Structure 1
Amino acid sequence: MNPVSPFPRSGNWSELPPAAGAAVMATGIVSVAMHLAGYEAASLATLALACLLWLVLACDFGNRLFGERARFRAEADTPAALTAVAATTVLGTRLSLLGLQSLAAAMLLLAVVLWPLLLTAVVRHWRRRMPGAVFLVCVATQGLAVLAATLAVATDADWLAETALAAFCLGLLLYLEALLRFDFSHVLEGAGDHWVAGGALAISALAGSKLTASTVWTGAAHEALRTATLVTLALALAWYAVLMAAELLHRRPGYDIRRWASVFPLGMTAAACLSTAPAVEIGWLRPLGEVLLWIAVAAWLWTAAAFTRAWTRPEQPHPAA
């Protein structure tokens, strides 16, 4: 697996590794969570920033695909490449919540095209004792479920809800497979992407909440989705507690670009709580989600400031991960 550089070369966006896609994921989900919490102005501001970041990284993605094929093939084999799919679905979800359904549908189509190509490349190179980025196979798949379910509610498209359910179930299976390959020593030693172990369950809970809120599912199907949502959210919160405790016991204050992959699960867990609260009618999840949201915002601000300092400083060496 290619090493991840914690520092981009000064001022050169083309030197950013695929892991930089987590910055779009983190910014986009913070926007979604702020919207769910009712902070619309802040949500729109972070949405604008997420769109800008997505466009910059999309241009770089296209440049590597058509101009640097050898580099693209090497990077496409790594789990971090799936941030392209996850970032697109998170951004598309926020656009759908804004009422831009055609644009959100276009984002879903793009993600659907990228997903099998990148997922196949990543799975072919799976191995034992992998870092937390391995859980991006689940995150990318559940991102499709979240966006499809959101669009299904907005457009009354039952087939999209059924597609979202299929992606939700597949995402859970991929999570179990990734869990078997995860190197648990990264909980104490990881550079940031170890948080995706919990974030993958949080986005699964968000997908479940969107499906539970749909009128397509009634009776036993609705109750099964409600149970699955609560179980995945409970497991996500358990991971949150474990990972936060590990951060306090084994502090890693230095900046690494994989820290964006820590911010994303923080924001996703907040969004999952805020979305699940009305879907399953458990009121205390909303205040919990708001507390977690401000933790995510604080982490986002710290990471953004550290990234800016790293990007503008003189060129740094690229140590192996």
Structure 2
Amino acid sequence: MADKEFSLLFYITDENLSHYIDENIREFAKADPETFNKKDKSFVESNRMNHINGFLYHVPELNMERGELVRWHLFAEGEEDIHAVHFHANAFVHQSSSENKGDVFDLYTGRHSTLLMRPDAVGEWLLHCHVNTHVDIGMVTTYTVHDQTALCKPICVSYICTSNTHIDCSLLGIGERMHLLNNKYQVKVQLKEGVIFVPASSITQLDLSHNPALGNVEILKKTLSKFPLLHTLWLNNVNMMNLPGDLFDGNKLLKVVHLQNNHIQYLPRYGRPTGSIEVLDLRHNKLKSVSPNVLVGRGRRLKRLDLRGNNDLTPRCLNDLHVDWRTMKFCVASDKFEGILKSM
């Protein structure tokens, strides 16, 4: 499943055919439609609107985050037979009989195609048709890639849950443990009523996503050790390179872990990183193999495993996962081999 989806229609509207052509001549050209030369070449061309989704020069709300999986649905209609859609700065992948990567896609009238993109270049970038007569008069826009890690919050925030304390400390710019906790191991939290200090030992749901310094395993281990009651943990986009076997040893009650959009290549063959965990979200990492020791064995309780977006995993690797299917409720493979492991 994509994080964002956008549909773009490349179309040339011929307003010379509009029922309002006489009214427009009368209002904007200040001329009599009966005597006005409607076949004048420059006039005819000026009424051919080269647009994307009905907009000239700018399609609003084409915003995404760096590293997200974006699905572009491209459509073309009208008289022109081809559009050359150019995405500046970021490449896409088009899957047909083979997988093709590029930044310009030929789109024919009456056709539609879907492109996948995981943008890496942050900024505002051009997106346009490369046919000169199209781009010059409106068939152009921009799309914007944001970097969440650059938008740090000054303080954690709390969400009201029925029985759990959910603390969002994402985008906090954490450098060391003490940037998150005070000397009494409390987290400074913003509520509507004001600022309070919540004991780390009482927090059950914690979001530490988009804090790149936590990719340092030593800092992360020291931080997590102060949250013994954690049930759910988010560590998305923290630049994590590996998952140590003892990382969650101090979190015996931990059941749900989200590790999306990191750089994890291998899970440890030893240790118990998934001992009590029931839901493990490893989408969009760089996994090359998954050891059966991580997933099954004495004390393992894994029920939901998500490996989508790890396209270096091979079908054989996925089929060799000796998962205990008596407890597994849901398991999906990478996008490249989706469907090998069916939902249970």
Q: TM-score, with normalisation over the residues of structure 1?
A: 0.31
Query: Larger % of helix: which?
Result: 1
Query: Larger % of strand: which?
Result: 2
Q: TM-score, with normalisation over the residues of structure 2?
A: 0.29
Compare CA radii of gyration and give the structure with the larger one.
2
